[in-house]
Structures are given as structure tokens and as C-alpha cells.
Amino acid sequence: MRVIQALCSYAMAGVLVIMIVGGTARAQCVGDCNGNGSVSISELVTAVNIALGRAIVDACLAIDVNGDGEVRVSEIIRGINNALRGCPDDCGDCSDGDACTTDVCESGECVNDPVVCQDDGNECTAELCDSVSGCASNDVDDGTSCNSGAGSCQSGSCVALGCTVDGECDDGNACTDDSCASNSCVNNDVVCQDDGNECTAESCDSGTGCGSSNVDDGTSCNGDEGTCQAGVCETSSVEIEYEQDFESLDQMSGTALGEDGLRVGATVFFGSTRGGRFLYNYFSFPAPNGGAAFSAIVNGEGGPEQGDQQLSVYNDYNNQDHGPGGGTAGAPHTIEALVFRERLLDADDVGKTLTFRFDHKRGNINDPADQTCMAPNPPCASTAIAFVKTLDRAANFATIDFMIAEMTDIPATWGTSTLTLVIDEAREGLLLQIGFQNTATLFQPSAIYYDNLEVSFAPTAP
């Protein structure tokens, strides 16, 4: 009775049925862990610990009667009976020669219980017992459903269900090449063939497949000798004489603009308005970069198309005739400052149209926040233009053509303007000037920003 009470109180902590992995042939007396012919309380405690998962079955193989890797209450009870009554007399050889039974002696009689083969966890194998070799796992039939219907057993492994022919892999996208490989669908992107036209771009539409579309008009083609127009490369007859985006010029070099071919000069008029009489002029010399006179390379004023550096054009603030008190008889004067390129028109230019294209943005011209524009000073009235002009040197540099684009009131956002001039025989030998002009007095602000300058010539249309 003490044995039973001790085991009952010990077993209150858990359930006595668990799965145990392992095990070999069993002893004759159930519960006789050490094989000494009797079952002790400590051996029964070991049996309970095995049932509770606190010890492995190899700690007492004699308690696992049927060798199924589990210790059940019925097996512990057999061990308790053997502890109370003593191990039964030897039954002799209880082996029945069948590897699929556990052979034990109980109460003087041989008991040959069937072996329970342990599941290997693979649903594509079936556990069975051979009377000679014992438990083993065999592959189930190929094609047996597995993985909750998402797979099929093949040679003992669960293979995901897939395709058998290419047609089962059509994903409805005309931009993929669909095929079945090893029961799996493969949907590779289609590579659209180049149609050999550099003015079209190949692309794929999921509904219609590969096709060609025109690139943007003006895209360079044929080794930069032409431009794309409506999907066709048209050889350009436009000659670019000058283009400048100021990105490659050294902002720290005071001679960078002059070395690029820009020049400056100014004309001074009496009084604070452009209508005053001519006093003097000074022409022409290389454009300075920086300082208070004429021009400078600046940065931080560009948009996406202007890059990092731009050209700032403003008046000659080194000229003290701006006033007040600096001019003749103490009166302020008006200074017309120019930044420009120039050359003579020759016979090769006749029959062509000149185009001057440039980007522009408002600088500080007539900025009301500038002190020179505030009372008691008069309101600021600086002006700015871009121009294409021709001058007749034989007639004291008389102006023949003067094409302008008004810049005074442009917005503080980037825009683009174009000036053109048709060159005929009458203009051969004239001095061509292309550039920018600012007129100011009393040191009033006048700056305009410019970028992406381009001067080109093309045959004049009939």
C-alpha cells in the first residue's frame, strides 16, 4: 500500500501518457529497470518520471512493455504489481521469432504484444512492421495527395502541385514568356527586339506585347548629325556657332567670361533718364567675372534645366557718374551697360537666319526692398533687354538692325526667349552684336540671370 500511495502522490504533477523516442528489446519483468529480478520504489519513480517526460525511456526499458516509446498507466500498474507480488518466475524463452511483437513474461506466462511502429512524420511514407526486420517506412503510391491537397507524393517526398504543359502557365501578360519546367511555371520577361530605328524606343504593353513608340522630337540621332522628328532621323542643317551653359567655366576666375568671348561696354547719358543727351561711351573690353561692373558667374539660381552656374548681367556700378553728385554739374547720369558677343557678317552668312535662344530669370532689378529704391530716393526705373543688332562701321557704327526681347518685368521663374535675324546680301560686312543690356541710374539694382545661351544659323526658308 505504501508503494501505491507514494506513486499516486508523485504522479499528481502531470499526465502519465507521453510520446517517447527510442527503445530496444524489453526485460522479462516489467518495471525491473536494472534487471536484478525485483522492482523497487525508485524504479517505479523512474517509470513515473518517464511517463511525465522528466526522464527518457532508456532510463528503464523494462517499463515500456510493447516498445512503442510510450509509458502508459497500464504499464506502470504492471510494474506496481511486480513490486507488490514480486517478479514472476522465469517463463523460459518467450520469443516467438516475430520482430513485430514484444515478448515478456508476466505472472509466469509469456505475453507477446504487437509492436507499435513510430510515425516518421513524413506523410508520403507509411510505417509497417516486417516479422523479420521489424519496423520500417515505405513510400506511399506516387500521386497520393499531401500537404492538405497542395502537393502530390513522388518517391516518398511531397512535391508542390504544378504544371504539366506550357499552356497551363499563361499569366495573361503579353510581356512574359510562359513555360512549364519540372512541374513549375516559369514566366520570364519578354525581350523586345530593337527595330533598328534610333528614333523609336521599344517597349512592351501587357495587353498587346512588344511595340515601338517615337522618342521625343529633337532627340539627337545619326551621330549627332540629325534630330528625331516624328520617329524619323532628319539631318539637321542648323549650325551651332555658340552655346554656353556656364557649367564648365571657373567661377573663381575673373577672366572666365572674357576668355569665353563675352565683351562689355557702356554709354553714358546726361540726367537720370535714357532720353538725356549723349555724354561718352567706352567700348569694348573682355567681360569681367564678378565685382561691381557688368557681369558675374553665380550659382544657386538655376532650375532643373539650368544646372549649378548661371550668368548674372547688371549695370556698371564702378562708374561714379551714376550720381547723385557724381555727374556733370552734380547731376546724376544714366548708364547703358552691355554684355555681348560680336563678329563681322561675311558671305557665308548670307541666305541664313540667325537664331539667338536663351533662358532668363528676374534678378534684383528694381527690387523694392533695395535701399536705393526706397524714399526719399525716387522709385527705381532700371530697364533690361536682350538684343541682336547690326552696326555699320562705315557709318560711324550706325545701328542697322536692333531686335530686342524685353526683360525688365520678367518673373522670378525661368523662361526661354528667342530672337531671329534674316541675313541677306545687304548685311554682309556689318558688325553683328548679340547680348544683353541694362540701363540704370543712381546705383539702382538692375540684375537679370541668363543661362543656356545658343547662337545658331540655318538656311533661310524660301
Q: What tens digit of pLDDT does each residue of 29-73 get?
A: 888 888 888 888 888 898 889 888 888 988 898 888 877 788 888
Q: In this model, does residue 294 exceed pLDDT 90?
A: yes
Q: In this model, does residue 407 exceed pLDDT 90?
A: yes
- Residue 343 is predicted with a pLDDT of 98
- Residue 1 is predicted with a pLDDT of 44
Longest dimension (CA), the chain: 147
Torsion of CA 27, 28, 33, 39, to 10 degrees: 170
- Each domain of the chain, given as residue ranges in start order, spans 2-114, 125-160, 200-232, 241-459
Q: Is the peptide bond preceding residue 376 cis, with omega within 30 degrees of 0?
A: yes
- According to CATH, what is the number of the domain 241-459? 2.60.120.260
Pick the closest to residue 116 from 103, 132, 102 (CA basis). 102
| Per-residue confidence band for 159, with pLDDT thresholds at 50, 70 and 90 | confident
Q: In this model, does residue 382 exceed pLDDT 60?
A: yes
Question: Considering the entire predicted model, what is its pTM?
Answer: 0.52
| Per-residue confidence band for 326, with pLDDT thresholds at 50, 70 and 90 | low
Over range 153-178, report the average pLDDT: 87
Q: What percent of the chain has pLDDT over 70?
A: 90
Task: Supply the DSSP string of 54-104, one letter for each residue.
Answer: SS-GGGGGGG-TT-SSB--HHHHHHHHHHHHH-PPPP------S-TTEEEE
| Per-residue confidence band for 357, with pLDDT thresholds at 50, 70 and 90 | very high
CA distances from 267 to 108, 307, 319, 373, 435 (A): 136, 33, 11, 23, 15
Q: In this model, does residue 274 exceed pLDDT 60?
A: yes
The 10 Å CB-count burial string (b at 16+, else e) for 2-28 is eeeeebeeebeeeebebebeebeebbb
Q: In this model, does residue 241 exceed pLDDT 70?
A: yes
Average pLDDT, the chain: 87
Listed range (18-27, 324-333, 403-412) with the worst mean pLDDT: 18-27
pLDDT digits (tens, 9 = 90+) for 213-234: 999 998 988 887 788 889 988 8
- Residue 325 is predicted with a pLDDT of 59
Burial-class residue 462 by CB neighbours within 10 Å (0-12, 13-18, 19+): exposed
Over range 263-287, report the average pLDDT: 90
- Residue 9 is predicted with a pLDDT of 46
Q: In this model, does residue 450 exceed pLDDT 70?
A: yes
- Residue 324 is predicted with a pLDDT of 72
- Give the cell for residue 296: 558675374
| Per-residue confidence band for 120, with pLDDT thresholds at 50, 70 and 90 | confident
Residue 331, phi then psi, degrees to nearest 5: -90, 150
Q: In this model, does residue 97 exceed pLDDT 90?
A: no
- Residue 237 is predicted with a pLDDT of 79
- Residue 22 is predicted with a pLDDT of 33
Rounded to whole angstroms, the Cα distance separating 284 from 308 reads 29
Q: Which residue has the cell 556733370?
A: 328
Q: Which residues contact 384 (CB under 8 A, 6 or more apart)?
A: 313, 365, 407, 408, 436, 437, 438, 439, 446, 448
| Per-residue confidence band for 116, with pLDDT thresholds at 50, 70 and 90 | confident
Q: From the CB of residue 425, how many other CB atoms can be counted at a distance below 10 Å?
A: 9
Over range 290-309, report the average pLDDT: 97
Q: In this model, does residue 150 exceed pLDDT 90?
A: no
- Residue 215 is predicted with a pLDDT of 93
pLDDT digits (tens, 9 = 90+) for 418-448: 999 999 999 999 999 999 999 999 999 999 9
More confident residue, 423 or 91: 423
Tell me the pairing of strands 109-114 and 125-130: unpaired
Q: Are 301 and 449 a contacting pair, CB within 8 Å?
A: yes
